[in-house]
Amino acid sequence: MRRVAIIGAGSAVFCKTLMLDMMATEALEDTEFVLMAPSTRKTSQVATFADRVIKRNGLKSKVSVTTDRREALRGADYVICSFQIGGMGAFELDYKIPLRYGVDQCIGDTLGPGGVFRALRTIPVILDVARDMEELCPKATMLNYVNPMAMVGWALGETNIQYVGLCHGVQTTLDLISGYVEVPKSEIDFVSAGINHMGWFLKIEHKGKDLYPELRRRFEEPEYYVNEKVRGEVFRHFGYFMTESTGHLSEYVPWFRKSPKAMELYCDEPAFGGESGAAYQWGEYVARKYEERDLLADEPADLPPRSIEYCAYIIEALETGKTFKFSGNLRNNGMIANLPADCCAEGPLFADRTGIHRTIVGELPPQCAALNMTNINVQRLAVLAAKSGDPETVVQAVAMDPLTSSVLTLKEIRDMVTEMLQAQAQWLPQFTGRLPKSTPVIPIPADVRRAHVPIDPALAIFSRFGELAK
């Protein structure tokens, strides 16, 4: 039997979805699932549910539970990662500390202070998983769902394992496009490329006809624009539609969450549309509601059709050779010509029996690549900080964040990062005993005179112009 290790299987509903997808795939019916999490409280619920499904549908699959990661990985053919280091406790700090400083995040798992600190907690762990895979299952493929996808994928791209980062932003955005242009999703031909949560639909067609004119027309109508104001504004000004929703996208750029006025104009939608701390508040609500309940106890045991998640389709392609095309995240390595080779890029990939393969996109429109680079700059520094444990690099990463830099000074950013490192020390062992340097405000007495600085002769002409102006 093929062995699928799910690291972070305590994400019960998501784990259930992926397992059902594989069980509903004829070529994958005889799969051994090994569910791993630090506690068996949730994984035992998933296993009980899975056993009901297996029995009800006469499947050959098997399910086991462990708290030992190495035991789960030993001999695995596929490794699915879906964990969150620090849980809701760390997530709360990611959101509430920056908010006190004036950085208002909606989701906080991809960029911004929340995304950077999630990366600092996550990258050392995912690299440990990769090292264990190199030893215990060197031919296995990792299918990663852990955020921040681009930063985690960047770190994985520097290892020797075969991996791919998976997200459902492209699939769900196609649902929206389909509804706006009134063309069935299955009939839309498209090319999407960029970085995770900031991919661009470079081509949208139906039977050879460009759908962009109709999509642009609809976004000028209030009843359509109102659903996706942030994404609509970026579309109007940058010319291409993006894979990420208003709530997420509002965090990755400097224009929509920097002031109460901007929030009122663009981020007034409920829940994940843009509400402050929407993802944290929803997660806290779910955690409270189901703290003592089995989420899967009342779930039907019949096999549903496969979901929109790519995981089962990719494993089916790797197992059977049936080619599957999808949007995924890999080390760029030339897939997108005007993004850095070492960054984690999202673009059109395909899987078959020989592995997972990039396709060559070429160059993004320059304005799209430029906006991607504002995020890639943060990602590079955050990955470096996570691996090095250098607190100064954390300050620099957060200082480059478009949203944070639109509302805070460098001194305020340094103070915020210091507080976050102290508050999250239990999940950040690489920073033990290390904090950013303190930079006090330099007092300037009222009667202080400026120090005499000799003027470069090449610049003297500018000084002379100043004198003439007076």
What residue numbers does the annotated binding site for substrate cover? 147
Q: Which residue has the tokens 């470079």?
A: 202
330 contacts 193 by C-beta, under 8 angstroms = no
Look at residues 366, 395, 365 and name the one whose alpha carbon lies nearest to residue 378: 395
401/361 Cα distance (integer angstroms): 27
For the annotated binding site for Mn(2+), the residues are 167, 197
Output 48-57 pairs: Cβ under 8 A, ≥24 positions apart. Answer: 48/294, 48/296, 49/16, 49/296, 49/297, 49/299, 49/301, 50/16, 50/19, 50/23, 52/301, 53/19, 53/20, 53/23, 53/301, 53/303, 54/23, 55/301, 56/301, 56/302, 57/23, 57/301, 57/302, 57/303
What are the tokens at 469? Answer: 């102006």
Type of residue numbered 104: D
- CB of 12 closer than 8 Å to CB of 34: no
Binding-site sequence positions: 147, 167, 197
Spatial separation of the C-alpha atoms in residues 444 and 455, rounded to whole Å: 23
Report the C-alpha gap between 24 and 17 in whole angstroms: 11
Query: Is residue 145 annotated as part of the catalytic site, yes or no?
Result: no
In this structure, the chain runs to a length of 470
Structure tokens at 176: 């929206």
Out of 168, 206, 212, 290, which one is annotated catalytic? 168
Catalytic residue list contains 357: no
Catalytic hit among 145, 180, 252, 280: 252
Which residues are identified as catalytic? 168, 252
